[in-house]
Amino acid sequence: MKAGVLGTGHYAPEKILTNKDLEKIVDTTDEWIRTRTGIEERRIASDDENTSDMALKAAEDALKEADLTAEELDLILVATVTPDQPFPTVSCILQEKLGATKAAAMDISAACAGFMYGMITAKQFIESGDYKHILIVGAEKLSKITDWEDRNTCVLFGDGAGAAVMGPVSDGKGVLSFELGADGSGGKHLAQQDEHIIMNGREVFKFAVRQMPESSVKVVEKAGLAKEDVDYLIPHQANIRIMEAARQRLGIDESKMAVNVNHYGNTSAASIPIALSEAVKKGKINDNDLVVLVGFGGGLTWGAVALRW
């Protein structure tokens, strides 16, 4: 028995902030943002819409797809660096709002790699037999820690939430292998200082174009498979050039990589589960496909999973 994904969900706020809108706020151009990052627009949560509100909508969507009720959940994990407040955690707020009365709840803080850390934590509880159904949510309201006067960072980020319900699966399906890592020495390159995100874009870029391809290949090899076996790649949606590096290293066709960075920007921990949920709903992932999910983030952190769907 392995741990697999039983259902996925996502939610993005209604308000769209385009590159053209940003041209009016900072000294930038639509052309610069598109060519350097692949981003065209991002979603921004309303003032009264908090991280837990977005998490709730994504979670409900995932439970519906999994055909489970909230009461069947044993554990709720929420990956976020923008919780409503330090405590109570987003996972506890979500537990109450969902009515998941039997579930334990905790938040995970690993920046953009948070959802990968959540999946691997869930896998341990499920494969040990201790828990059966675990909800993992990646949810972020990055707009509240974005410095709207800093063109180096404000063009990159967006708000949203994605979720997956994991549980036991059979027939060789589920998580085949994983890789998690951290390098605290690189933490200074991407951080929240006082109220805002600060970033050394070039250093983060160098780290990411090395780490994403390396981790993607590693999980495939750890699963005893070859790059050619990969059917679908879901990379963290930070920058199309970084994502392309991973795709090219795996040698897979463009049509086999999830891309929504153009519409959402970088939604940190929410990016991988939003992309996963969209891919599932669009029918891009089929029964028995080998799916690779890979992310990197502030910390620095990274994580990848090879999953038989």
Site for ligand ACO contains 36 (CB under 6 A): yes
Q: How far is the CB of 302 from ligand ACO (least distance, A)?
A: 10
**Closer CB to ligand ACO, residue 55 or residue 290?**
55
Is 266 marked active-site?
Answer: yes
Site for ligand ACO contains 298 (CB under 6 A): yes
- Of 56, 73, 111, the closest CA to residue 270 belongs to 111
Residues 219-278 touching ligand ACO, rule: CB under 6 A, are 238-239, 266, 268
Site for ligand ACO contains 205 (CB under 6 A): yes
Query: Out of 3, 119, 190, 272, which residue is the one contacting ligand ACO (CB under 6 A)?
Result: 190
Q: Binding-site residue total for ligand ACO (CB under 6 A)?
A: 23
Reading the block at residue 133, the tokens are: 């159904």
**Closer CB to ligand ACO, residue 8 or residue 268?**
268
Q: Which of 92, 112, 154, 189 is catalytic?
A: 112
User: How large is the angle between the packed helices 51-66 and 90-98, nearest 10 degrees?
Assistant: 50
Site for ligand ACO contains 138 (CB under 6 A): no
Site for ligand ACO contains 111 (CB under 6 A): yes
- Of 123, 76, 117, the closest CA to residue 96 belongs to 76
**Closer CB to ligand ACO, residue 37 or residue 80?**
37
At 155, the amino acid letter reads V
Is 236 marked active-site?
Answer: yes
The answer to whether residues 188 and 224 touch, using CB atoms and an 8 Å cutoff, is no
Site for ligand ACO contains 44 (CB under 6 A): no
Site for ligand ACO contains 108 (CB under 6 A): no
> What sections of 166-270 are H helices per DSSP?
201-222, 240-250, 261-264
Q: How far is the CB of 285 from ligand ACO (least distance, A)?
A: 24
Query: Out of 62, 90, 120, 155, which residue is the one contacting ligand ACO (CB under 6 A)?
Result: 155
Handedness of CA 17, 22, 23, 24 (dihedral sign): positive
The answer to whether residues 244 and 261 touch, using CB atoms and an 8 Å cutoff, is no
The answer to whether residues 99 and 70 touch, using CB atoms and an 8 Å cutoff, is yes
Q: How far is the CB of 168 from ligand ACO (least distance, A)?
A: 31
Q: Where are the beta strands (DSSP E) in the chain?
A: 2-11, 15-18, 41-44, 75-79, 104-108, 134-140, 160-169, 174-182, 190-193, 196-199, 232-235, 290-297, 301-308
The answer to whether residues 176 and 223 touch, using CB atoms and an 8 Å cutoff, is yes
Site for ligand ACO contains 181 (CB under 6 A): no
**Closer CB to ligand ACO, residue 178 or residue 302?**
302
Provide the binding-site residues for ligand ACO, judged by CB under 6 A: 28, 32-33, 36-37, 111-112, 151-152, 155, 190, 199, 201-202, 204-205, 208, 238-239, 266, 268, 297-298
Q: Which residues are catalytic?
A: 112, 236, 266
